[in-house]
Amino acid sequence: MTNEKPISKEPKDLNEQMNERKYLGKDSMPELSEEVKKEMEKRKEELDKVQKFIVKKYPFTIAVGILPPQSVPKIEEEEDIPEAEKKEKRTHILVLVPEEQFKNIPKLKKEIVDYSKNIKPKLWFHIITPVDIWNFYMDARYDLSTAIAMAFPLYDKGLLGALRVAEVHKNLVIRKFEKYVSSYVIAGSLVRGTATKTSDVDVFIIIDDTDVKRMPRLELRERLRGIIYGYLADAAAIAGVKNKLEPQIYLLTDFWEAVKDAHPVMFTFIRDGIPLYDRGTFIPWKLLLKMGKIKPSPEAIDMFMSMGDKVEKTAKRRLLDIVVGDVYWGVITPAQALLMLYGLPPPVPKETAQIFKETFVEKEKILEKKYADILDKIIKIYKDYEHGKITEITGSEVDELIKDTDDFIKRMKKLREEIEKVSQKNIIEQIESDVFKLLENLFGKKSKNELVEIFERELVKKGKMPIKMLQILKDIEKAMKEFKSGKIKKHDIENARKDAAILINHLIDYGQRCDLITIDKSRMQIMLKSGEKAELIITDAGAFLVRGSTISKILHNSNKLESATIEQFESAVSAQKGKLQTKTDPKIFQILIKELGDFEIII
């Protein structure tokens, strides 16, 4: 049993708790006044002792609370307290015990009174059971039931808190649109006596739609539903409890229809529900049900009986839905994930089995064929199920599918490790290829060791490349050696990939700068007498003259200017990248003068 903490010894904490009891309605619920709060502060230690005594001596106690002073006159009238004793200033304490302790209440009361007789001002104890509370509601004695719900808890297993949040929510709802609320009823664990401090509170709210003329009935329900749900957080904050309200909202006409058809949910609701508010609708239903006057129609009996006839078929169908659906997604999703890990885009489901087999069984040879067959089999079963070719499934088939799925998933976990090894190998090989291919483009075809030495001598030591790039290059070489020896770790490969990307970017930038320099040194502009400008580009394949959109060439060992295509020009310029400047033959200028007349070199 979990006991609620005693009253805090800090005055402000108690006040904060009292404020949480505040009700935000037109007709305020009973609430402790500031004067009473101050008085309680003085007596909190004594009240704490009384609460501990009750809970320790009677562990079955459901709740102990202080009744609001505003409700005291009505409570005293209810218990027929003598006038002489009414004049004494007393604090009224509620003690809630299980129904099975009803016969022992006189004895319990005497023992509790004897224990607390020396406390001043005197305490008056009201020992009741949950059944008494429900009877107050059934008799529409809301003054008493509300006082109990709003009692300040000294100890509570959950019933008082759950009842309090329901009361607060009810009053917020009724204050907003009382004319539409026919009944506000609690049910579930709260009424059964099994509510805890975190139990959901089942609430049924019946909306009267019999006098609605200016909007459709369903629109009325949805509008009110939004407001009702909007008050849930407010009610929980005001009540200061963790219990969550779970309202179900019905239109009155729909509810009548469900009762007429003897819907089991409605029967249970009417039988067990307790109205916190009722405009003469719910209680008559409850009494008629108790008298056996609410009976299902012949049509309802036929409907419920037919539901039994469908049990076997429905159960098989649901089993098929669950098993086939879960099994299908249980294999298709990991298969697609591994294909993505391998580096392929995720295929559509119908192509997954074929690509899976081609990749891992046939190409990489790292997976046994039977697992590709399991995947293919399950996909086909699912497609047959989707197209209605399979309508039920046997227990043995379910067992076989589950076994195959289990084997498949276990093998996929191992396959992932193998794919990661293949992926790591591909990454390392790609890094090696990309880096040293760029170095060969810059320095010619040489051994890797020679390329590293030239890189250090020509680029790093001459300040053309950051020194960090040399370290990256050496780290890449180290990662390659460790991978081949099987000593490399996964994060080292990832680091090598990131570092290689940095080095490759630097090498590409350097190569492009070299190409631009080479091209610029072999390029010059000339001005003809006519004022027309042209560009002369010297390459190993010959000299090219670009005049507007016309391209001409002067080939080696040629004495004249000939027409050239854009492809010839681009091929010659591309082949010139990275090479030393080509020596300009003076013969070229003689041919140009012969063909174009005098000209001036301006760049």
For residue 234, what is the domain's CATH number? 3.30.460.10
Domain identity same for 23 and 127: yes
Residue where one domain finishes, among candidates 114, 132, 156: 156
Is 50 exceeded by the pLDDT of residue 515?
yes
Is 60 exceeded by the pLDDT of residue 28?
no
Judge whether 407 and 356 are in contact, CB under 8 Å. no
Domain identity same for 4 and 69: yes
Domain identity same for 200 and 284: yes
pLDDT score at 16: 38
Strand ranges (E), 405-560: 523-528, 533-539, 542-547, 550-554
Question: 585 falls in which pLDDT band (50, 70, 90)?
Answer: confident
> Could you give the CA distance from residue 261 to residue 257 in angstroms, rounded to a whole number?
6
Give me the percent of the chain exceeding a pLDDT of 90: 16
**Considering its fold, how many domains does the chain have in total?**
5
Is 70 exceeded by the pLDDT of residue 160?
yes
Domain identity same for 527 and 513: no
Judge whether 440 and 578 are in contact, CB under 8 Å. no
Is 50 exceeded by the pLDDT of residue 12?
no
Strand ranges (E), 510-589: 523-528, 533-539, 542-547, 550-554, 562-563
Domain identity same for 92 and 13: yes
Q: Which of 27-31, 443-447, 575-579 has the lowest mean pLDDT?
A: 27-31
Is 80 exceeded by the pLDDT of residue 37?
no
Q: What are phi and psi of 448, to 5 degrees?
A: -60, -40
3-state SS class at 132? helix
Is 90 exceeded by the pLDDT of residue 445?
no
In terms of average pLDDT, the best of 13-27, 282-296, 392-406 is 392-406
Q: Is residue 429 part of a domain?
A: no
Is 50 exceeded by the pLDDT of residue 30?
no
Residue where one domain finishes, among candidates 499, 517, 535: 517
Once rounded to an integer, what is the mean pLDDT over residues 470-474? 84
Is 70 exceeded by the pLDDT of residue 23?
no
Q: What are phi and psi of 212, to 5 degrees?
A: -100, 120
3-state SS class at 279? coil
Once rounded to an integer, what is the mean pLDDT over residues 131-147? 88
Q: Is residue 245 part of a domain?
A: yes
- Please give the helix or strand (H or E) that residue 264 lies within, else none: helix 264-272
Domain identity same for 1 and 144: yes
Q: Is residue 433 part of a domain?
A: no
- Domain holding 6, by residue range, is 1-156
Judge whether 166 and 201 are in contact, CB under 8 Å. yes
Q: Which of 183-187, 215-219, 532-536 has the lowest mean pLDDT?
A: 215-219
Residue 519, CA distances (Å) to 506, 524, 533, 582 in order = 20, 10, 19, 10
Domain identity same for 149 and 184: no
What lies within 8 Å, CB to CB, of 265 at 6+ separation is 258
Burial class (CB in 10 A: 0-12, 13-18, 19+), 7: buried
Q: Would you state the torsion angle of the CA atoms of residues 33, 35, 37, 42, taken in this order, to the nearest 10 degrees?
A: -170
Domain identity same for 22 and 146: yes
**Which residues are paired to 543 by β-bridges?**
538, 554
Is 80 exceeded by the pLDDT of residue 73?
no
pLDDT score at 264: 72
Q: Is residue 435 part of a domain?
A: no
Tell me how crowded residue 455 is: count the other CB atoms within 10 A of its CB. Answer: 22
Is 80 exceeded by the pLDDT of residue 492?
no
User: pLDDT tens digits, residue range 168-179?
Assistant: 999 999 988 888
> Could you give the CA distance from residue 137 to residue 278 in angstroms, rounded to a whole number?
9
What lies within 8 Å, CB to CB, of 150 at 6+ separation is 21, 23, 29, 30, 31, 68, 164, 167
Q: Which residue has the tokens 């009417």?
A: 270
Q: Is residue 437 part of a domain?
A: no
Judge whether 212 and 63 are in contact, CB under 8 Å. no
CA atoms within 13 A on the CB side of 451: 19
Q: What is the largest CA-CA distance in the chain?
A: 140
User: pLDDT tens digits, residue range 292-338?
Assistant: 777 665 655 565 555 555 556 666 677 777 777 788 888 888 898 88
Q: Is residue 305 part of a domain?
A: no
Residue where one domain finishes, among candidates 517, 537, 566: 517
- Where do runs of H (alpha helix) occur along 79-194? 83-86, 105-116, 130-138, 142-149, 159-177, 189-192
Strand ranges (E), 3-111: 63-66, 91-96
pLDDT score at 155: 92
By C-alpha distance, which of 501, 500, 460 is closest to 479? 500
C-alpha angle 20-26-27 in degrees, rounded to nearest 5: 80
Q: Which two tokens stand for residue 447?
A: 């051994």
3-state SS class at 272? helix
Is 60 exceeded by the pLDDT of residue 395?
yes
Domain identity same for 343 and 417: yes
Domain identity same for 499 and 484: yes
Judge whether 240 and 20 are in contact, CB under 8 Å. yes
Domain identity same for 6 and 138: yes
Q: Which residue has the tokens 């909190």?
A: 44
> Could you give the CA distance from residue 456 to residue 338 in angstroms, rounded to a whole number?
41
pLDDT score at 520: 61
> Could you give the CA distance from residue 524 to residue 543 in angstroms, rounded to a whole number?
11
Judge whether 167 and 149 are in contact, CB under 8 Å. yes
pLDDT score at 18: 34
Once rounded to an integer, what is the mean pLDDT over residues 415-436? 81
Domain identity same for 271 and 384: no
Q: Is residue 556 part of a domain?
A: yes
- Chain-centroid distance of CA 507 in Å reads 45
> Could you give the CA distance from residue 592 to residue 535 in angstroms, rounded to a whole number?
12
> Could you give the CA distance from residue 170 to residue 555 in angstroms, rounded to a whole number?
100
Q: Is residue 132 part of a domain?
A: yes
Sign of CA dihedral 132, 133, 138, 141: positive
pLDDT score at 410: 92
Q: Which residue has the tokens 């040489």?
A: 446
